Amino acid sequence: MSPVPRYLLSAYGPAFPDTGAFDERLRKDGHLVFAGGLEPAMTATTVDGRGALTDGPYLETQDSLGGLWVIEAADLDVALALAAEGSRACRGSVEVRPFRTAKS
């Protein structure tokens, strides 16, 4: 039997008002692998391959990654439906990306 595919749901925006209930639903339904919110992008430190450190985010942009979920879902359609719920919960955009597998 093949392992259940994993997807990264990346939430963009500064605040996530209703994600607690969504996290709990993912947990209860067996989809949740990990969830976490991030501190604002201005708290980031960027490190390059030479070891140089730069205060601030890697990219200067209006939108920044505010949190994420790693989920297991039977297929992309299930992941997209869950991402739509996550988008409503965090009141922002959610990007869905599959994790690489041995076949990819």
DSSP letters along 14-52, please? S--TTHHHHHHHHHHTT-EEEEEE---GGG-EEE-TT--
Q: What pTM value is reported for the model? A: 0.84
pLDDT given at position 57: 55
pLDDT < 50 regions, the chain: none
pLDDT given at position 48: 78
pLDDT given at position 85: 95
pLDDT given at position 49: 77
18 vs 1: CA distance, rounded Å: 35
13 vs 4: CA distance, rounded Å: 29
